[in-house]
């Protein structure tokens, strides 16, 4: 048995028990000798500390109602271009800048909002606010989203009504449609990533089924001119038949592992 100093002998249970030792870098101990008086390399504790980026900070802590109000107010002030730009800002705030939601959770919330009548963005705001801060989070999120956007909408409507006869107004409005289309394309790509990731994990059959549902829904609405509600109900039935049942927690855990 090698002879170890008392200091390193006290650290040995940390190594043997598999515990994490996250202390400062230790100084190199003096060389020990075995029974034959030969130098023995000392045993060092395993350095398995998590990276600095993985530590939770106040910036990533769950937000309170006041912080939610400020975040949603920022989204309301910037949400020019309709629902596409608003959804892009929601993705940036709640999945990219802050790890409060996984892309799978946000896509799950959007799917629930699609099943309900009315304005999807209002329902999505309610679901996010409730998850992060409960009932007070719902009130703060709705107030932050609606108050700035309503004020800006009323102001712009009054200005456009007053100057709608000016030749520059129609020319300026023509640039809004391409910008909105670009925002919608980016939002679609962001929602497609977790869907493709989940389908790829389930195998090539699930990936092919997802592609067929996307193409079939587009053809049914554009070519056959079927009702959107009917297409959504058909997609629900196909999803229950073709895809394996998996809880949202499992999808979120897989996303965290990949990160």
Q: What are 168-200's pLDDT values in tens digits?
A: 777 777 777 777 777 778 887 877 787 777 777
Q: Do 88 and 151 fall into the same domain?
A: yes
pLDDT at 52: 42
Q: Do 72 and 136 fall into the same domain?
A: yes
| CA distances from residue 4 to 7, 27, 157, 181 in whole angstroms, order as listed | 8, 15, 80, 69
Length in residues, the chain: 259
Answer yes or no: is pLDDT of 122 > 80. Answer: yes
Whether residue 80 lies inside any domain: the answer is yes
Name the range with the highest mean pLDDT among 81-85, 156-160, 163-167: 156-160
The count of domains in the chain is: 3
Owner of token pair 């400020």: 70
- Write out the residue range of the structural domain in which residue 217 sits: 202-246
Q: Do 141 and 219 fall into the same domain?
A: no
SS3 content of the chain, % helix, strand, coil (to 5): 70, 0, 30
Q: Do 220 and 148 fall into the same domain?
A: no
pLDDT at 207: 77
Q: What are 61-78's pLDDT values in tens digits?
A: 888 999 999 999 999 888
Mean pLDDT throughout 8-31? Answer: 48
Q: Do 151 and 241 fall into the same domain?
A: no
Q: Do 75 and 39 fall into the same domain?
A: no
Q: Do 154 and 229 fall into the same domain?
A: no
Whether residue 99 lies inside any domain: the answer is yes
Mean pLDDT throughout 129-153? Answer: 91
Triad 103, 106, 108: Cα angle to 5°: 110
Closest CA to 203 of 243, 258, 249, 254: 243
Q: Do 153 and 237 fall into the same domain?
A: no
Q: Do 160 and 209 fall into the same domain?
A: no
Whether residue 44 lies inside any domain: the answer is yes
Query: How many angstroms separate the CA atoms of 74 and 68, rounded?
Result: 10
Lowest mean pLDDT segment, chosen from 3-7, 193-197, 222-226:
3-7
Query: How many angstroms separate the CA atoms of 62 and 95, rounded?
Result: 13
Whether residue 114 lies inside any domain: the answer is yes
Query: How many angstroms separate the CA atoms of 209 and 55, rounded?
Result: 38
Lowest mean pLDDT segment, chosen from 95-104, 219-228, 247-256:
247-256
Whole-number average pLDDT of the chain: 75
pLDDT at 46: 47
- Residue 160 pairs in a beta bridge with none
Copy the structure tokens of residue 236: 């629900």
Copy the structure tokens of residue 106: 């946000």
Q: Do 25 and 75 fall into the same domain?
A: no
H helix intervals, 47-174? 65-78, 83-91, 103-115, 120-163, 168-174
Whether residue 141 lies inside any domain: the answer is yes
Whether residue 180 lies inside any domain: the answer is no
Tell me which of 141, 164, 187 is where a domain ends.
164
pLDDT at 251: 56
Q: Do 111 and 25 fall into the same domain?
A: no
Answer yes or no: is pLDDT of 55 > 50. Answer: no
């Amino acid at each position: 048995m090698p002879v170890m100093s008392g200091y390193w002998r006290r650290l040995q249970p940390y190594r043997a028990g598999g515990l994490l030792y996250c202390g400062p870098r230790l100084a190199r101990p003096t060389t020990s000798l075995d029974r034959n008086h030969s130098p023995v390399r000392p045993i060092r504790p395993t350095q398995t500390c998590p990276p600095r980026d993985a530590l939770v900070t106040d910036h990533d802590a769950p937000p309170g109602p006041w912080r939610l109000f400020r975040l949603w107010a920022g989204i309301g002030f910037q949400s020019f271009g309709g629902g596409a730009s608003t959804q892009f800002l929601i993705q940036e705030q709640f999945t990219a800048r802050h790890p409060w939601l996984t892309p799978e959770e946000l896509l799950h919330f959007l799917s629930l909002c699609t099943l309900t009548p009315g304005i999807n963005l209002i329902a999505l705001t309610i679901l996010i606010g409730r998850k992060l801060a409960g009932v007070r989070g719902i009130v703060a999120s709705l107030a932050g989203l609606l108050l700035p956007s309503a004020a800006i909408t009323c102001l712009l409507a009054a200005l456009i009504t007053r100057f709608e006869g000016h030749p520059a107004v129609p020319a300026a409005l023509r640039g809004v449609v391409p910008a909105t289309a670009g925002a919608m394309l980016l939002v679609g790509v962001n929602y497609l990533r977790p869907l493709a990731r989940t389908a790829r994990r389930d195998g090539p059959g699930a990936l092919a089924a997802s592609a067929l549902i996307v193409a079939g829904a587009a053809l049914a609405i554009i070519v056959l001119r079927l009702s959107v509600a009917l297409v959504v109900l058909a997609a629900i039935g196909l999803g229950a038949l073709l895809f394996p049942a998996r809880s949202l927690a499992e999808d979120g855990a897989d996303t965290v592992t990949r990160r």
